[in-house]
Amino acid sequence: MMPTKPEKKRFPHATVIVLAMVLLVVLLTCVPYLVTIALAQGPAQRDARDASPIFGVIIPEGYRQWELIAPAEEVAPLNELRAVIGNKIAINAYQDGKLPFSDGTVLVKRAWKRQQSPDFASATIPGAATTVQVMVKDSQKYAATGGWGFGRFINGKPVDEAQHRTCFACHEARAKGHDYVFTRLAP
């Protein structure tokens, strides 16, 4: 007797084609949902033109919902009302009295022209927005500027490089003893 080889099972071509079609239908059905989920979860792509020159700082997503650190008023010639807000890392550092600020700290200063309230003569209210200024703490990336990167934006676009070159010098001259940050937590 001669040994016989076991028979190999073969899938008919029709079965392979049907399985391929089912797989294709499943993929085509799921891909739009997967793309929607990925786009909703990931940050919006930003153009390099949205970043500040020198530092590459951008306006953070969702910053308008951050907590207030302190308001301020700038007298002439700027005549602005300002509010400094911070991300959770910044708020925790302020509340704990922790200096230097940790990497990942982000501070945003929003500024508006100051104007008299039409409803209450002795009140000053925000008028037109003037700038959004951002400080980002990254001790390695911004080692040459005290660990801070800076961004100044008008109408959502960064101002020129010459203006950004003045940021650290001002902070170094006036706020070096407070990790280069002017703003203190409002009581």
Residue with tokens 């309230």: 117
* Residue bearing the bigger pLDDT, 15 or 159: 159
* Residue bearing the bigger pLDDT, 24 or 76: 76
Q: Is 133 exposed, middle or buried (0-12, 13-18, 19+ CB in 10 A)?
A: buried
Q: What integer pLDDT is reported at residue 117 of this predicted model?
A: 95
For the chain, the average pLDDT equals 87
44 SS3 class: coil
Neighbours of 11 (CB within 10 A): 10
73 SS3 class: strand
List, for residues 85-112, the tens digit of each pLDDT value.
Answer: 999 999 999 999 999 999 999 999 999 9
Residue with tokens 């003045």: 166
CA 112 → CA 49, 76, 84, 183, distances in Å?
Answer: 23, 13, 12, 17
pTM value is 0.75
Tokens of 15: 């079965």
Cα–Cα distance, 40 to 187 (Å, whole number): 38
Tokens of 121: 């003569």
List, for residues 42-98, the tens digit of each pLDDT value.
Answer: 444 567 789 999 999 999 999 999 999 999 999 999 999 999 999 999 999 999 999
Q: What integer pLDDT is reported at residue 39 of this predicted model?
A: 42
94 SS3 class: helix
Cα–Cα distance, 105 to 115 (Å, whole number): 31
